[in-house]
């Protein structure tokens, strides 16, 4: 059996959708293990573009797809996403989609709380998507969350809703929001229940059966390592663990099941929302990267901040997730640059640093130390073999490998599914 975990090694938006979709050719099962519908994946297959958030990318190829217990699930969004992808000709049935029955739910009150708190924070906001992800995880660890399986037990819902609203209505009063009516919330839940319950079952048992049959399993992460709630640029982070180790806890398998960790990195760096970004470029170069790379959020439409490749941050992510190889995406966006810079270190208060410090002051105060490489004029768009890459593009890839201490397993040269250079197959490593 082989099991590959795909994690973002930067701030998210590294192109996981395409790479996961491409790797699905080699996998039998695809599993989402953390996050919610705040992280969108765009898949381009021929003339069709699929925009997914909760659904694992494997569904597009008819693979067994699992939403693990580590994901927080908005049942209304999930039902809508299923309906939408069906209109694009993709079959979605309980035979190819499994929803962990112990996954926690995102409710409308979570999104309302998310938005209200961000508005009240003013200049101290952290830039959430407003999808209710954080409040849902808070309820999960606070042991008051509603879970998928609760939708099948109307009597238990009464007790659980009362417990939940004891907490939330007090918060809402403090924020000037109208209190939630328990009967109305229950009616909403019972209405959506038939749309998602057919997919619900113990996901860990399904995975265990697949492992016993030596199936190839692909674990699909959301966001990026630098948004990890423990190891990211706190508090400008997501509300779940993004590190590769979360694949085990968030899917229901032992850590020994993981055979390879693939880290996704762009050939430059982007991030969305507030928070530190050492290599951010607020100039024509940054705008060019954003325009050529079409750097806008799949779900939110928000423009992404752009900057040069940061080897310090990627090296840190590799250490934290035990990354075995990286997939370098969007190499073609750098076509035509006469010079390309790579951040090789930081300076803070006159001292050299080879990591991003944990303190807010330290994160905001670091300045990047750059190394300049010669760019290339030729196009790399659509290249599928390394021998067809410009010499300076190969030098750029090799230098990145040296600086991060990890080999490139895959290089992506366009948004198209098959525009990939395979240097090492993660399922055969």
As annotated, the active-site residues are 13, 41
Token couple for 131: 């999808």
Tell me how far the alpha carbon of residue 313 is from its chain's centroid.
Answer: 17
Q: Please answer whether residues 194 and 183 qualify as being in contact, where contact means their C-beta atoms are separated by less than 8 angstroms.
A: no
E strand segments, 39-196: 41-45, 48-52, 64-67, 72-73, 97-100, 104-105
Q: Please answer whether residues 203 and 252 qualify as being in contact, where contact means their C-beta atoms are separated by less than 8 angstroms.
A: yes
Residue 220's DSSP bridge partners are 6, 32
**Cα–Cα distance between 123 and 265 in angstroms, integer?**
30
- Measured N-to-C along each axis, helices 133-141 and 108-121 cross at an angle, to the nearest 10 degrees, of 110
3-class SS of residue 303: strand
Side-chain-facing half-sphere of 127: CA atoms under 13 Å: 17
Other CB atoms within 10 Å distance of the CB of residue 202: 15
**Cα–Cα distance between 382 and 371 in angstroms, integer?**
27
DSSP, res 350: T
């Amino acid at each position: 059996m082989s099991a590959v975990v795909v994690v973002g090694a930067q701030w998210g938006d590294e192109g996981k959708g395409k790479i996961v979709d491409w790797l699905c050719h080699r996998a039998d099962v695809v599993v989402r293990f953390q996050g919610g519908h705040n992280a969108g994946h765009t898949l381009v297959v021929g003339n069709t573009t699929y925009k997914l958030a909760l659904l694992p990318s494997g569904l597009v190829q008819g693979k067994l797809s699992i939403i693990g217990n580590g994901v927080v699930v908005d049942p209304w969004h999930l039902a809508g996403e299923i309906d939408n992808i069906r209109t694009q000709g993709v079959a979605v049935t309980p035979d190819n989609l499994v929803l962990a029955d112990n996954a926690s739910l995102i409710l409308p009150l979570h999104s309302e709380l998310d938005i209200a708190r961000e508005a009240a924070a003013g200049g101290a906001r952290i830039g959430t998507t407003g999808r209710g992800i954080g409040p849902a995880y808070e309820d999960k660890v606070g042991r008051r969350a509603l879970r998928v399986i609760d939708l099948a037990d109307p009597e238990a819902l009464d007790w659980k809703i009362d417990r939940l609203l004891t907490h939330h209505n007090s918060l809402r009063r403090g924020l000037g929001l109208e209190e939630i009516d328990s009967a109305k919330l229950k009616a909403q839940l019972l209405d959506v229940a038939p749309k998602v319950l057919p997919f619900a079952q113990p996901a860990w048992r399904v995975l265990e059966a697949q492992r016993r049959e030596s199936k190839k399993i692909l674990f699909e992460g959301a966001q990026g390592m630098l948004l990890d709630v423990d190891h990211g640029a706190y508090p400008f982070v997501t509300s779940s663990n993004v590190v590769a180790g979360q694949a085990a806890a968030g899917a229901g398998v032992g850590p020994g099941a993981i055979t390879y960790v693939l880290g996704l990195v762009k050939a430059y760096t982007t991030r969305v929302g507030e928070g530190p970004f050492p290599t951010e470029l607020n100039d024509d170069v940054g705008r060019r990267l954003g325009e050529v790379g079409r750097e806008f959020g799949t779900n939110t439409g928000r423009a992404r901040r752009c900057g040069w490749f940061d080897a310090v941050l990627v090296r840190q992510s590799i250490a934290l997730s035990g990354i075995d190889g990286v997939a370098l995406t969007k190499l073609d966006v750098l076509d035509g640059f006469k010079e390309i810079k790579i951040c090789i270190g930081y300076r803070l208060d006159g001292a050299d640093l080879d990591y991003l410090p944990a303190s807010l002051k330290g994160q905001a105060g670091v300045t990047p130390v750059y190394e300049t490489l010669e760019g290339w004029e030729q196009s790399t768009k659509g290249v599928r073999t390394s021998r067809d890459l410009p010499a300076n593009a190969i030098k750029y890839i090799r230098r990145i490998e040296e600086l991060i201490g990890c080999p490139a397993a895959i290089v992506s040269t366009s948004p198209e599914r098959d525009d990939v250079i395979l240097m090492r197959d993660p399922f055969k490593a």
